[in-house]
Structure formats: structure tokens, C-alpha cells
Amino acid sequence: MKSDELYGLLRRRGFLWPTAEIYGGAQGLYDYGPLGTALKRRIEEAWTAWFVGRSEDYYRIEAADLLPEAVVRASGHLENFTDPEVACASCHSVFRADTVLEKVRPEGVDGLAPAQIAELVAERHVTCPKCGRATLGVPVPFNMMFGVDFGVTGHERAYLRPETAQSSYLAFPRMWEVGRKALPLGVAIVGRAYRNEIAPRQVLFRMRAFTQAELQIFFDPERFDVPIDAVGDEVLPVLRVPRREKGEESPEWVPVRELRSAELPDFYLFHLVHSYRFFRDALAIPKERIRLFEKSSTERAFYNRIQFDIEVHLESLGGYKELGAVHYRGDYDLSRHAAGSGQDLSVVTLDGRRIVPHVLELTFGVDRNLWAQADVHLGREEERTVWKLPPALAPVQVGVFPLLKKEHGAYARALARELQAAGIVAEYDDAGGIGKRYARMDEAGTPFCLTVDGTTLDPASAEAGTVTLRHRDSKAQERVPRAELAARIASATRLALAPV
């Protein structure tokens, strides 16, 4: 589906809508309704189970999203977290430089100095996208952080964090202290980050307040053991810099063992595989849609030593979009905060060396991935609209219907309660005909429906006590004894986690 159609459907079903909609909305802000909230939480839980839950050394924390100025000064965000902004002298509209240069320089303006951008604008006779006149000025850096006056004095500033990662770096010394004082140590946050984007767009893709799931792994660069042999046969869809420079856009499939090199050390590769598998196995993204996109040294942030973006081809947005990434940030973050705070953030390894731990960051955009689940799995099929969500992500796990409200309603309600008591998200529905109820559940991504009918309640029937279990994807139906339902649905909606 196209973006507008997809968004229309999500909005109509109450998955999401613009914040303060009755006031005309607020650019770049969205609210999630009941189904969207549940789906978002399932994605967050799946991410946590996958990246944090299987390790005894990794922990999830929760931190304030306001940070004192000293923190973002040390991290470099106060100085560098900017986008070049261009104003039109005629109509006073303001644009991101990459937007006004979109046609003449589709690859963006990363790495260009303001003077170079101004030169391009002049040379190529670029006009204001709004009024059409050639009155665009020289770009100025626009800091994308939201700042607030903190406290009553008017002298203190705080900033909404531009990335959750900063909170994890701040937590490192305390986590070291309360933990087992060994590396690797992983600190994960699922939480909000905020960016005053010049041009929010593409609904959940460039938001001004959004949810990130990020794991910072603090490690010893001389010793970060990973079971690389266990994943050596995995084949990855990579698009590396040399091929990109030849103009290639599609990935090539390369076995992990062939990617091992000094440039791509085992610890990095292992976590790239781990992230790729999350998209393929937990999020059920067809592997043909995934591209592991290597960023060159000029494209990535200067402190990143290695960066692959995990991209997924989205029909609604007409191309590959970044949904996650693996960043090897070296010791940049802890060194900056050590300098900024005057605290010693080095640690002593088990074999007695004093080091500043390095950081490997696994980052994941929760909102974007919610959108991707719709793009990839929601579609029209014959007469119906069906969202083939991975069962472990479904907001509602089972719909429970009486064939006839009057005759079978009480039994169906009791069945729904019984399933709920077993920890299953069961939704009772008796409105409209069975077909309409299936249609509602199909659109919401509910993998199973149960229907209670006369046979269920007929003591003379050989199938007494069974209900009809209907499968979303195949529409296949079967009769299942009530006593088996809870275990069967629980097992089918559980996230499969292979040991790492």
C-alpha cells in the first residue's frame, strides 16, 4: 500500500493519530490508540527479550529524558547536533538544506560546509520550494535539541535527550559499581528521544518525539569473546562501500565467515548477525527485503568506527529505510563524559589492565518498526484486509465469539475470561455477524479466532466442549477441545528465542 492509504487505515482503526488532532495536530508528534499501544509494547518486549533477556550481563534500565546542559555539552550535541537550515528572504519560509537541494543533489548534504551548500544553491539556480523565487540565503546550523529552562533561576538549562544512549553512558559507573565488575556489560534503554526536526515527515519516520530501543555494550577491545563459529554459515545481505561506489544498490549475499577481517572484527560481525536475525526471525521481515548498508567514513558520525544500517525495503515509502543500526563507537562516549565530568570512568579488567571501555551500540527505532510491520505484513487479499503480524507481536492474540449472542454468549465470555486468566490477550466480540468479526480481527492482526456454537454446548454431540479455532492467515478452521486452547494459543504466540 502507499503511505497515505496505510496511514488512513491505521488511523481509522485507531492504531495511531496526530497528537492534539482536534487542534489541527502538532508536526512530528503522534499518539497511539489501544491497538497501536499494544503493538508497540509487543515490539518493545520482543526487542528486550531478544537483546537483553538472553544475557546475564545485559540489563534494562529507565532514565529521565531531561539532561543537564553539561551532559550534552560533553557529548558534543550542543555544538554538533545540527542540521543546516536555509531561509527564503522573500517569503521567510525555512527549509532543511537537503530539502531545497533534493533535486540537484539527491544524496543529501552530509559533510558539506555551509559555504559549499550556498555555492550549490547559487550555481544550480535553486529556488525557494514555497514561493519559487531565487532568494535562498546562506545555510545556518540549527540545533535540533529541545531546550528548557530548568529550575527557577533562569540560568540553568536542560535538554530533552536526543538519543537514549546518553543516559546509558551516564549510568555506566553506577552499573559497574552495583554489578559484577566485569566486561562486557550491557545497558539497554527503551525510551523516548526528542529532535526538533526542521521538516518532520513520513509519519513515524521523522518524528519530533519518538521511541528508541538501544543497547550499549561496554566492552574490553582486547577481549570480547563471541561464538563467531556458531554463526559462520549465516549468509548476510550486505551492501559494502566498494560496491556502493560502483553505483550498486542491491545487497549481495555473503557468508559471515567470508566477511571476517581486520576491518570487521568478530565481535562486530556477531552482533550484526544477531541484529539481522532479529529482523528476519522475530519481526518476520522477508530476508529479500533486508539490506545491511555499510556507511563510509565520511557518512558516519566521526566517532563511529564501523557502522552498518539495517535497512528494510518499504513499499509505502518507495525504497530502503533505516530501521536499526550497529555502531562501533570506540571509547568516544566514556572519554568525553570523563573529560566533561572530571570523573575517572576507566575500569580495571579481570586481568588487571586499566581501560576505558569501548562501546558497541545496537540501535532500533520502535515507531519506524511499527510502521514497517504494517508496510510488510498488512495488505489486501481477495475480499479482505489482513495484517499477517508475527503472532508474538499481535495486540490481540485471540478473538472469542459466540455464534449466537443469546445462546452462546455466556459460554464465550467465560472462555475469554479463562484465557485471560492464563495470561492470553483474549477479546470477546459479539457485535455483527461472524464474518464482520473475522474481518475486524484480520485487520487488527489477531492470529486466532474462536467461535462457540451449538455443538460446543450440545452434551449429545461427540464434539461437545470443542470450539472452532480459525487461523488468520490460511482461514483454515478446526475444532479444538476447550482444555487444549490456552496451551495451544500461548505456545503459538510466544516469541521463539534460540539460545545465543
Q: Which of residues 414-443 bind a second copy (CB under 8 A)?
A: 420, 423, 428, 431
Interface with a second copy, residue 160, by CB under 8 A: yes
Interface with a second copy, residue 483, by CB under 8 A: no
> Site for a second copy (CB under 8 A): which residue of 2, 5, 8, 20?
20
The minimum distance between CB 282 and a second copy, in angstroms, equals 16
Nearer to a second copy, 64 or 301 (CB): 64
Could you tell me the three cell numbers for 229? Answer: 563459529
Binding to a second copy, residues 193-222 (CB under 8 A): 194, 196, 198, 208-209
Q: Closest Cα to residue 464, out of 484, 485, 481, 442? A: 481
Could you tell me the three cell numbers for 270? Answer: 556477531
Binding to a second copy, residues 137-156 (CB under 8 A): 142, 146-153
Q: Quick one: CA dihedral 162, 164, 166, 171, positive or negative?
A: positive
Q: Closest Cα to residue 438, out of 490, 485, 381, 487? A: 381
The minimum distance between CB 412 and a second copy, in angstroms, equals 13
Interface with a second copy, residue 303, by CB under 8 A: no
Name the segment binding a second copy (CB under 8 A); options: 173-181, 309-317, 323-331, 397-405.
Answer: 173-181
> Site for a second copy (CB under 8 A): which residue of 274, 337, 408, 470?
337
Interface with a second copy, residue 496, by CB under 8 A: no
The minimum distance between CB 477 and a second copy, in angstroms, equals 25
Q: Where are the alpha helices (DSSP H) in 151-227?
A: 165-178
Interface with a second copy, residue 411, by CB under 8 A: no
Dihedral of CA atoms 100, 103, 106, 110 in degrees, nearest 10, equals -20
The minimum distance between CB 450 and a second copy, in angstroms, equals 17
346 phi, psi to nearest 5 deg: -80, 160
> Which strands make up the sheet holding 466-471, listed edge to edge?
426-428, 398-402, 448-452, 466-471, 477-481
Cα Rg for the chain, rounded, in angstroms? Answer: 26
Nearer to a second copy, 299 or 418 (CB): 418
- State the Cα–Cα distance between residues 132 and 117, nearest whole angstrom: 18
Nearer to a second copy, 64 or 241 (CB): 64
> Site for a second copy (CB under 8 A): which residue of 180, 246, 354, 406?
180
The minimum distance between CB 20 and a second copy, in angstroms, equals 5
- State the Cα–Cα distance between residues 31 and 11, nearest whole angstrom: 10
The minimum distance between CB 273 and a second copy, in angstroms, equals 22
Interface with a second copy, residue 345, by CB under 8 A: yes
Name the segment binding a second copy (CB under 8 A); options: 67-75, 120-128, 224-232, 386-394.
Answer: 67-75
Interface with a second copy, residue 129, by CB under 8 A: no
> Site for a second copy (CB under 8 A): which residue of 138, 171, 254, 355?
171
Could you tell me the three cell numbers for 140? Answer: 545556518
The minimum distance between CB 69 and a second copy, in angstroms, equals 9
Question: In whole angstroms, how far apart are CA 414 and each of 400, 407, 419?
Answer: 10, 13, 9
E-strand stretches of 195-303: 209-219, 235-239, 252-255, 290-294
